[in-house]
């Protein structure tokens, strides 16, 4: 006879699980904990290896090549290395300052504004209606809005301005020169 007051009655075993079942479950739990520890340890090793690689790639080798006054170097095995420089930029937490500067200096086109309105899955008609209305009237009633400057656009804009000899406030746009080591293996 099925117990109608207990919705899970049909899934319950007639007998209580045996002690071996709990021992197996306990072992599986220990195995999972060991696997979690192994993953954490491997991630830490990877993080340290990536930090060491970055230190060599962006700082140690470029600095040492500067000391030797070398632009490129090829070792006896035919492995060539050269230091490349690229300009990077980032607004970071200086958003208000950066937006203000861009607007005041005629570069507001870099700032992109996104408007979002959330609807549930059954509100398709309402969503389409509002979208049509927004397109017709360019309204944004009750919508969430986000303003940002895409990182790639900012970096390209900064490079272009610097190349043209124009001033760019480095402190506002986080402008810096990133140096890295390019390695070319010999062709076999």
Going by pLDDT thresholds of 50, 70 and 90, the confidence category of residue 9 is low
Four-CA torsion 166, 171, 172, 177, nearest 10 degrees: 60
| 76: in domain | no
Q: Is residue 32 part of a domain?
A: yes
| Residue 43 within any structural domain of the chain | yes
Question: Looking at the domain assignment, is residue 79 inside a domain?
Answer: no
**In the chain, alpha helices (H):** 19-55, 61-67, 95-104, 124-137, 151-163, 170-173
End-to-end Cα, the chain, rounded Å: 77
Of 70, 78, 95, 80, nearest in space to 146 by CA: 95
Poorest-confidence range of 38-42, 56-60, 78-82, 122-126? 122-126
Is 139 part of any domain? no
Residue 64 lies in a domain: yes
Domain assignment present for 6: no
Please give the model's pTM, rounded to 2 decimal places. Answer: 0.62
| The pLDDT value given to residue 93 | 92
Structure confidence by residue, pLDDT tens digits, 90-133: 998 999 999 999 999 999 999 998 877 788 889 888 888 887 77
Residue 37: inside a domain, yes or no?
yes
Specify the number of domains making up the chain.
Answer: 1
Enter the tokens of residue 184.
């070319």
Q: Give the range of the structural domain holding residue 32, as residue numbers without chain letter.
A: 17-70
Tokens of residue 34, six digits = 């060991």
User: What percent of the chain stands above pLDDT 90?
Assistant: 66
């Amino acid at each position: 006879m099925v117990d109608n007051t207990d919705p899970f009655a049909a899934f319950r075993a007639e007998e209580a699980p045996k002690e071996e079942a709990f021992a197996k479950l306990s072992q599986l739990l220990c195995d999972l904990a060991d696997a979690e520890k192994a993953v954490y340890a491997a991630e830490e090793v990877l993080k340290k290896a990536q930090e060491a690689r970055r230190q060599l790639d962006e700082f140690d080798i470029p600095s040492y090549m500067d000391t030797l006054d070398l632009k490129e170097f090829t070792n006896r095995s035919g492995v060539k290395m050269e230091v490349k420089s690229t300009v990077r930029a980032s607004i970071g937490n200086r958003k208000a300052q950066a937006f203000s500067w861009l607007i005041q200096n005629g570069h507001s086109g870099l700032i992109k504004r996104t408007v979002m309105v959330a609807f549930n899955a059954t509100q398709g008609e309402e969503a389409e209606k509002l979208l049509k209305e927004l397109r017709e009237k360019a309204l944004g009633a009750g919508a969430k809005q986000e303003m940002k400057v895409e990182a790639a656009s900012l970096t390209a804009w900064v490079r272009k301005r610097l190349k043209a000899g124009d001033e760019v406030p480095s402190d506002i746009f986080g402008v810096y020169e990133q140096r890295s080591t390019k390695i070319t293996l010999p062709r076999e």
